[in-house]
Amino acid sequence: MQPHSISQVWDQVTGTQAAPGSTVVWAMAAVALVAVGWRAVWHLSRNVVTIAHEGGHALVALLMRRRLHGIRLHSDTSGLTVSSGKPYGPGMVFTAAAGYTAPSLLGLGGAWLLSAGHTTALLWAVVALLLGVLIEVRNAFGVLTVLTTGALCFAVSWFGGAELQGAFAYLSVFFLLLGGVRPVVELQTKRARGQARDSDADQLARLTRLPGLLWIVLFLAVSLGSLALGARWLLP
């Protein structure tokens, strides 16, 4: 972008940009699918989904007027968001349910922005959200992960041309839409093996007395629904 004044920056952020060609769009969808489906790549790329997951917990905790104590992101792609308040009730339920739905809903919001031509606005919104997460991160690996992701998004939005911005934005949104599905499937696989007994779904089961499997179905419905609608908006 590299504008030379605040007004130019504002015009670029609030204005619209042309969508990439259909070949680029399909190519970015394919790259995102590889990043989610190939285990070796997923082990690294899943960190981005974890940022969105824990950021979702943190944002909803604040909206529910809970006290947020911090976020931790770990090298095994797990994470933890700690907040305090009533250990029961709607606030706790919404906070616990936000994690597995956040990546897909963020992807859906990004797809809506891209369908309206707001590529630069999307990239800057992502940078702003990552900055908000960074403020709450409480461990070195988490800081490094969020800083790296944020620096990449900022570099593309500030120095990249329209073609690069468009391709990167579509790749990011496709990745969130696809990446929101796999963790839900992985979670249920672990639960079926008797693992992850303190997962979000199991915490919600204890809070609401509804089966954990029902919450898994809800997570999956949100992720698949977001993927279907987002793909409809984005794919030529």
Q: What is the mean pLDDT of the chain?
A: 95
pLDDT at 23 over 80: yes
Check residue 196 and give its pLDDT. 85
Cα dihedral 197, 202, 207, 209 sign: negative
Tell me the angle at which helices 39-63 and 119-136 cross, rounded to the nearest 10 degrees: 80
Whether 8 shows a pLDDT value over 80: the answer reads: no
Name residues whose C-beta falls within 8 Å of residue 230's C-beta, 6 or more positions apart in sequence: 107, 108, 110, 111, 173, 174, 177
Q: Does the residue 179 lie in any domain?
A: yes
Residue 228 neighbours by CB under 8 Å, 6+ apart: none
- Structure confidence by residue, pLDDT tens digits, 108-132: 999 999 999 999 999 999 999 999 9
Q: Is residue 114 part of a domain?
A: yes
Q: Yes or no: say if 42 and 60 are a contact pair by the CB < 8 Å rule.
A: no
21 in any annotated domain = no
Q: For residue 123, is it within any domain?
A: yes
pLDDT band at residue 14 using 50, 70 and 90 as cut-offs: confident
Helix axes 6-14, 119-136, angle to 10 degrees: 100
Q: How many structural domains compose the chain?
A: 1
198: in domain: yes
22 — pLDDT class (breaks 50, 70, 90): very high
The domain containing residue 142 runs over which residues?
Answer: 37-234
* Residue 95, SS3 per DSSP: helix
Give domain status of residue 197, yes or no.
yes
What are the tens digits of pLDDT across the range 89-111?
999 999 999 999 999 999 999 99
What's the CA gap between 198 and 96, in Å, rounded? Answer: 11
* Structure confidence at residue 11 (pLDDT): 72
Residue 72 lies in a domain: yes
Q: Quick one: DSSP state of residue 193?
A: T
| Percentage, residues of the chain above pLDDT 70 | 98
Q: Say how many C-beta atoms besides its own lie within 10 A of residue 93's C-beta.
A: 18
Whether this prediction's pTM lies above 0.75 is answered by yes
* pLDDT tens, position by position, 164-200: 999 999 999 999 999 999 999 999 999 999 998 899 9
User: CA 112, CA 122: separation in Å to the nearest integer?
Assistant: 10
In a domain, 13, yes or no: no
